[in-house]
């Protein structure tokens, strides 16, 4: 495991079973047994999946007698969303600047419109 949180979150969601578990926890909290029920793998395997999600900070577990209800921690999603948005937007701005350059090369210039050059914001 690559040890930083963002890596753990991405890695956790790289497995369809785990994404499925997240999807179901978005609807409501559930115990390990309830989560394991739909799959034909062992409860232990699902327990491991939940551990991976918990280590990534995506899920927390409470206690109710011998049960350990799982709860989705949706805030961690922001970590990913921010990372993604940052580079998506950065790439998009680059395309816009490229478009502007190409337009200018065509003699199709708009010299009085500086709004396209929003600095590459790091």
For a second copy, the binding residues (CB under 8 A) are 2, 4, 6-8, 10-11, 13-16, 19, 22-23, 25-28, 60-62, 71-74, 77-78, 80-81, 83-85, 87-88, 90-92, 94-95, 120-122
The 65-84 contact track toward DNA, x by CB under 7 A, reads xxxxx---------------
Is residue 60 part of the contact set for DNA (CB under 7 A)?
no
Q: Which does 49 bind (CB under 5 to 8 A by kind): a second copy, DNA, none?
A: DNA
Cβ-in-10-Å burial (0-12, 13-18, 19+) of 14 comes to exposed
Burial 77-100 (b: 16+ CB within 10 A, else e): eebeeeeeeeeeeeeebeeeeeeb
Cα-Cα end-to-end distance for the chain:
28
Interface residue with DNA among 10, 20, 29, 31 (CB under 7 A) is 31
Q: Which is nearer to DNA, 4 or 40 (CB)?
A: 40
Helix (H), strand (E) at residue 85: helix 76-105
3-state secondary structure of 71: strand
Which residues on adjacent β-strands are paired with residue 114? none
Interface residue with DNA among 23, 45, 74, 98 (CB under 7 A) is 45
Residues forming the site for DNA (CB under 7 A): 1, 11, 14-15, 17, 31-34, 36, 40-45, 47-52, 61, 63, 65-69
């Amino acid at each position: 495991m690559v040890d930083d949180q963002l890596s753990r979150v991405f890695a956790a969601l790289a497995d369809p079973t785990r994404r499925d578990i997240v999807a179901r926890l978005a609807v409501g909290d559930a115990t390990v047994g309830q989560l394991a029920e739909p799959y034909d793998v062992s409860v232990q395997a699902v327990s491991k999946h939940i551990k991976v999600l918990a280590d990534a900070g995506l899920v927390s577990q409470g206690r109710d007698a011998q049960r350990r209800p799982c709860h989705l921690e949706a805030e961690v999603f922001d970590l990913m969303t921010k990372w993604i948005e940052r580079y998506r937007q950065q790439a998009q701005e680059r395309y816009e600047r490229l478009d502007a350059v190409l337009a200018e090369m065509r003699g199709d210039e708009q010299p009085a419109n500086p709004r396209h050059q929003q600095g590459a914001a790091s």
